[in-house]
Amino acid sequence: MTDVTDPTINTASDLVEHPRGTAPGKPGDRGAFGFEITRRLDPTADGLGRGGFRHGRSGVIHTPHGDIRTPAFVPVATQATMKAMLPEQLVDLGAQCTLANAFHLFERPGEDIVDAAGGLGKFMNWHGPTFTDSGGFQVMSLGVGFKKTLAMDVTGLKSDDIIAKGKERLAFVDEDGVTFKSPLNGDVHRFSAEISMGIQHKIGADIMFSFDELTTLMNTRSYQEQSVERTFRWAKRCVAEHRRLTAERLGKPYQALFGVVQGANYEDLRRHAARQIASLDFDGVGIGGAIEKNILGNICAWICDEMPELRPRHVLGIAAVDDIFAGVENGGDTFDCVAPARTARNGAIYTRDGRWNVLRAALKRDFRPLEEGCDCYTCTHYSRAYLHHLLKTREMSGCTLATIHNERFFVRLLDDIRASIDGGYFDEFRDATLARFYANGSRG
């Protein structure tokens, strides 16, 4: 493994220009990517892994553009930007990495432009590690029109033709791939394993995901079984195309490829899918799919039981505070979600004492910071009253300041969880944090 303390090794300031593991005329060196475990959680009588094992751990993911100390929160920069924020502000709030969306960058500005700019990091002036989602999420979100909520409570009818009220189906799945109708202009686009890999290689993120089919919790068991097998067939094609493109695109840094495990709420399907993905030459794993909230930890544990330990695990689309703890305890290393930024723009503020809305009339004359003791730029410079005013008057700076605070909340939460694992006090920290956060019935 590369010695990051070696003064001859590239620092964060020049990794965009000189990423690790690159040489002119040669494929990217796969040795520039790796994962090492720092400390594991002790097993317990109620641990959800086999034999009470708890898969939670701290560690380090090494990438060509720098290291990610895990567990870590990954802010979502869907269109190569975090809405209402600059990359420099993400650095200031402690973000180690960021995630962009392949489908949206394919639509605008186009992967060729990102490639010509020198890749995602250089295009957006982000000097750290980057991820790209494969477009698999759009299989579900455009196909059925549901909100961007993956950990949910669900009861009632199972259906394979479900669609959200008032929505048009914009994605159609077949064996070879998915046909999308663009939500921007109605143009018809085609994604397959090979097309997704081609787009993601040109975008140039350090970590990519294989193209998968994301189902809903309302799909029938029969459809979930078909979807798991289809996702596995697509995964094999992604691995083959990834190898070909890595060998072809000379002088570029190695891009790690994570396979995605689906299977909804079914233990046998999740374990089966995990074994399938583990059998392929992936660098890591994405824990994907719509997940019933009360068994999120179980699902992570089922998957991690079947996966090699030294493959890092990314939990896709999760950011509720209790879900974060359940995910970490049962093996999640990195987490992404749009919720902290999206809710911030609507006035919802995350604090250690729960989530509340700064647009409440009672806060119009409240000159305290959003959260006492918070070290973010917003809390050290501005008051609740000022944020109330900015968001009420729809000033863009209000979205910026609220987003800075919420993103800092989740980055710090994962930093604190990591410290608690390293320090041997995870259980105590989890219990105290959750008791305080949910004491007043917070939705977060």
179 within 8 A of 188, measured Cβ to Cβ: yes
Residue with tokens 């965009």: 16
Catalytic, 6? Answer no
Q: Is 136 annotated as a binding residue?
A: yes
Q: What are phi and psi of 335, to 5 degrees?
A: -140, 140
Which helix (H) or strand (E) segment is 217 a member of?
none
Q: Is 337 annotated as a binding residue?
A: no
Q: Is 405 annotated as a binding residue?
A: yes
- Give dist(CA 142, CA 170) in Å, integer: 5
Q: Is 133 annotated as a binding residue?
A: yes
142 within 8 A of 183, measured Cβ to Cβ: yes
Q: Is 304 annotated as a binding residue?
A: no
* Per-residue buried b or exposed e for 249-287, using 16+ beta carbons within 10 Å of the residue's own CB: beebbbbbbbbbbbbbbbeebbbbbbebbbeeebbbbbb
* Per-residue buried b or exposed e for 167-203, using 16+ beta carbons within 10 Å of the residue's own CB: eeebbebeeebbebbeeeeeeebebbbbbbbbbbbbb
- 192 forms beta bridges with 177
CB atoms within 10 A of CB 45: 5
Q: Which residues lie below 8 Å from residue 81, measured CB to CB, with a gap of 6+? A: 87, 124
Q: Determine the 3-state secondary structure of 114 from DSSP.
A: helix
Q: Is 289 annotated as a binding residue?
A: yes
Catalytic, 133? Answer yes
Regarding beta strands 256-261 and 284-287, do their DSSP bridges make them parallel or antiparallel, or are they unpaired? parallel
Marked catalytic residue, from 133, 283, 322, 333: 133
Q: Is 212 annotated as a binding residue?
A: yes
Marked catalytic residue, from 67, 115, 323, 336: 336
215 within 8 A of 264, measured Cβ to Cβ: yes
- Give dist(CA 274, CA 265) in Å, integer: 13
Residue 214: name the closest of 145, 162, 272, 141 by CA: 141
Q: Is 238 annotated as a binding residue?
A: no
Q: Is 300 annotated as a binding residue?
A: no
Q: What are phi and psi of 189, to 5 degrees?
A: -125, 155
Q: Is 135 annotated as a binding residue?
A: yes
Q: Is 376 annotated as a binding residue?
A: yes
Q: Which residues lie below 8 Å from residue 156, measured CB to CB, with a gap of 6+? A: 218
307 within 8 A of 278, measured Cβ to Cβ: yes
Q: Is 134 annotated as a binding residue?
A: yes
Q: Which residues lie below 8 Å from residue 99, measured CB to CB, with a gap of 6+? A: 74, 75, 76, 77, 130, 131, 132, 133, 205, 336
Residue 310 DSSP one-character state: T
Annotated binding residues for Zn(2+), written as ranges, equal: 374, 376, 379, 405
As annotated, the active-site residues are 133, 336
Annotated binding residues, written as ranges, equal: 133-137, 212, 262, 289, 374, 376, 379, 405
Annotated binding residues for substrate, written as ranges, equal: 133-137, 212, 262, 289
